[in-house]
Amino acid sequence: MQMTIEKLNEIQERNKELVALRKLIAEQASEMLEHSQYRKQILVCGGTGCTSSGSKKVIDALEAEIKEKNLTDVLVVKTGCFGLCALGPVVIVYPEGAFYSQTTVEGAKRIIDEHIIGGKICKDLLYPETVCENGEILPLNATRFYKKQMRIALKNCGVIDPENIEEYIALDGYKALHKVLTSMSQDEVIETMLASGLRGRGGAGFPTGKKWAFAKASKGDIKYVCCNADEGDPGAFMDRSILEGDPHAIIEAMAIAAYTIGAHEGYIYVRAEYPIAVDRLKIAIAQANEYGLLGKDIFGTGFDFNLEIRLGAGAFVCGEETALMTSIEGKRGEPRPRPPFPAVKGLFGKPTVLNNVETYANVAQIILKGADWYSSIGTETSKGTKVFALGGKITNVGLVEVPMGTTLREIIEEIGGGIPDGKKFKAAQTGGPSGGCIPACHIDTPIDYESLSRIGSMMGSGGLIIMDETTCMVDIAKFYLEFTCEESCGKCSPCRIGTRRLLQLLEKITAGKGTMEDLDKIEELSSHMKVSCLCALGQTASNPVVSTLKYFREEYLAHIVDKTCPAKKCKALLKYRIVSDKCKGCTLCARNCPVKAIKGTVKQPHVIDGDKCIRCGVCMSNCKFGAIIKD
């Protein structure tokens, strides 16, 4: 079909009330409900996190109950991620905005019977923070988790059905593309992006407008736009959630980028381990083609743009732009020397723009709301918002989006709900395997590109792993080195050999065999890798080691000099012993020890033979009297 602005407006008007109802609470929605086809809408998270928790069964149960009870005025909508991933499956009933967490099939039946039919909210099934002492029910955006968030990239996630293009259009979808194609020159789009201050959200933070300007200026009969959806950092799921919850935002932004640089073909490179994201992208691309928003003569302007998906095999190095393009070309994913940069010679040797998912997710809103609006958010040099995958030792595990300049303390203590089990905050890891560890003394650091760089870390793509006092920082550094060592493509020897050698030194230290000279070797080797590796994987691989050595040197010294692990995590340095005053002589520990390292008689204190002990911890887990401790 040939899409026109009149048709776009017609679709938007037809779906406007349906979608708008999900953003209102009961008091505000009363007038709208009079004209709505649906009295109630039940939104269920269909993202990977909630799907793995059983949301598919919950959806089936809700739909079965609705069909059985002939509730034709109740709609079930499978959405993207709401953010509070640890509370899945998440169900929200509108117009009340009742937030049900960890919903079961039995809970789904109660929601239909008691809430939808009976008109009484099941308060015992709600997320506790939404229930006030006086019985009042708070909307989700009034909770601590949401209060300080500002959703731009995640604007539609958890709000629309990502498999329905008309719901995206209802919230101004594809209006930015129409505006660009019909009323803006290529240079005007670039000026808008430059004025907005949008920087790449994939890690490097390069200005998006500059990248597009370089590609536009490059001469070439064919040009390409690419999307990096090869999210490989451990614990990161920002891009996946955007693709699962709002795929059309990426398609629209890539079409805008293509018009701006003079391209007519694009590729989304997404890892095959993201099946839900891949399926929704396929559906979205097919719908965009059907509605005339991809393909030939878009909006009757003569602009053509086709988009394809390329699946990655999960190689972390393919997050590097030249390695990603090499992989799209069907070759082994290895980085290329730069220059020339992709804007001059990229995919198939042609000028190419590559941005990551989150970067593209901001584009359409910048076009519609203006550069001044976007640049008013954030800090002087870091504009807009940033999405983080908040994980580790934190109460509210999930997806958060905050204005640049929000402090680490605000994210941890307010949005994240603090450290569970009364533990103390020790460090935060940003930037994944390429980033650094931020110690507790820097908890008031603003989260922006420059501030993180000054303290030896980096923004990265947005993984934010929180650690408490039980974390061994030497072991954390070793974990990230194991990852980068495994993921090195091996093309350049400084990375191939350097990561392996660094890992060997850390393994030596955690095994209690390290020396002070090893610390000098780590620092020297790290320095060489930063300047000699071919790509960012190798250049930044030592960052977790260097930052932990800088801020937690005393832990390295404890491992080397005292042969102890202060956090009691490194197995080779642990010593198990039995407290004689607490031991009842029940023999349970001795009977379960796999190497017979525990001696003693019935009703008498037992003793562990340190030479035989393999430090498996079985004795400690079996002791009912708390008589076994580890030093």
For 430-489, what is the HEC assignment? Answer: ECHHHCEEEEHHHCCCECCHHHHHHCCCCCCCCEEEEEECCCCHHHHHHHHHHHHHHHCC
Whether the pLDDT of residue 479 is over 90: the answer is: yes
Q: Do 600 and 550 meet the contact criterion of CB atoms below 8 Å apart?
A: no
Residue 203 has pLDDT above 80, yes or no: no
Residue 271's SS3 state is strand
Contact 310, 327 (CB under 8 A): yes
pLDDT at 140 over 70: yes
User: According to CATH, where is 3.10.20.600 located in the chain?
Assistant: 385-471
Grouping H, G, I as helix, E, B as strand and the rest as coil, residue 26 is helix
Q: Could you tell me how many residues make up the chain?
A: 631
CB of 108 closer than 8 Å to CB of 191? no
Q: Specify the 3-state DSSP secondary structure of 137.
A: strand
| Residue 24: predicted pLDDT | 62
What mean pLDDT is predicted for residues 612-622? 91
Q: DSSP string spanning 344-383? A: TS-GGGS-EEEEEHHHHHHHHHHHHH-HHHHHTSB-SSSB
Helix (H) or strand (E) holding 578: strand 576-578
Indicate the DSSP class of residue 561. Answer: I
> Of the given ranges (54-58, 59-63, 86-90), which has the lowest mean pLDDT?
86-90
Tokens of 252: 């629209």
Rounded to whole angstroms, how far apart are CA atoms 88 and 389? Answer: 15
Q: Is residue 492 over pLDDT 60?
A: yes
Helix/strand/coil (H, E, C) string of 85-127?
HHHCCCEEEECCCEEECCCCHHHHHHHHHHHHHCCCCCHHHEC
* Rounded distance between C-alpha atoms, residue 171 and residue 25, angstroms: 18
Both tokens of 231, joined, read 């999210």
- The architecture CATH gives domain 474-562: Up-down Bundle (1.20)
Spell out the residues 6+ positions from residue 414 whose beta carbon is closer than 8 angstroms to its own: 144, 147, 148
Where do the CATH 3.40.30.10 domains begin and end in the chain? 17-140
Query: Are 32 and 19 contacting, i.e. CB atoms less than 8 angstroms apart?
Result: no
pLDDT band at residue 25 using 50, 70 and 90 as cut-offs: low
- List pLDDT tens digits, range 326-344: 999 999 999 999 899 999 9
- Please tell me the distance from the alpha carbon of residue 157 to that of residue 45, in angstroms, as a whole number: 9
385-471: CATH topology: Ubiquitin-like (UB roll) (3.10.20)
pLDDT surpassing 90 at residue 252:
yes
Average pLDDT, the chain: 93
- The amino acid at residue 360 is Y
Q: Does domain 17-140 have CATH number 1.10.150.120?
A: no
Going across the sheet that includes 98-100, the strands are: 74-79, 40-45, 91-94, 98-100
**Cα dist. 292→182, 367, 379, 495, 553 in Å?**
15, 20, 39, 47, 59
Say how far apart CA 356 and CA 487 lie, in whole Å: 20
CATH 3.40.50.11540 matches 165-375: yes
Cβ of 606: how many Cβ atoms within 10 Å? Answer: 24
pTM tops 0.85, yes or no: yes
SS3 312: strand
Contact 107, 125 (CB under 8 A): yes
Residues 6+ apart with CB under 8 A from 628: 576, 577, 578, 579, 589, 608, 619, 620
524/505 Cα distance (integer angstroms): 12
- From 12-21, 386-395, 599-608, the region with the lowest mean pLDDT: 12-21
Assess whether pLDDT exceeds 90 at residue 21: no
How far, in Å, CA of 168 to CA of 19, rounded?
9
Quote the CA–CA distance of 145 and 400 in Å, as a whole number: 8
- Is the pLDDT at 354 greater than 60? The verdict is yes
Residue 392 has pLDDT above 70, yes or no: yes
Does position 544 have pLDDT exceeding 90, yes or no? yes
Within the chain, all domains assigned CATH 3.40.50.11540 are found at: 165-375
Kindly report the three-state secondary structure assignment for every residue of 175-218: HHHHHHHHHCCHHHHHHHHHHHCCECCCCCCCEHHHHHHHHHHC
Ramachandran area for residue 77 (φ above 0: left; ψ -120 to 50: alpha; else beta) = beta
Does 232 score more than 60 pLDDT?
Answer: yes
pLDDT in tens, 172-202: 999 999 999 999 999 999 999 999 999 999 8
Q: Which pair of structure tokens corresponds to residue 575?
A: 């010593």
Q: Dihedral angle at the C-alpha atoms of 154, 160, 162, 164, nearest 10 degrees?
A: -150
Domain with CATH 3.30.70.20 in the chain: 575-630
Instruction: Work out the percent of the chain whose per-residue pLDDT is above 70.
Output: 98
Question: CA dist 566 to 421, 444, 516, 563, Å?
Answer: 19, 25, 18, 10
Check: CATH 3.30.70.270 for 575-630?
no
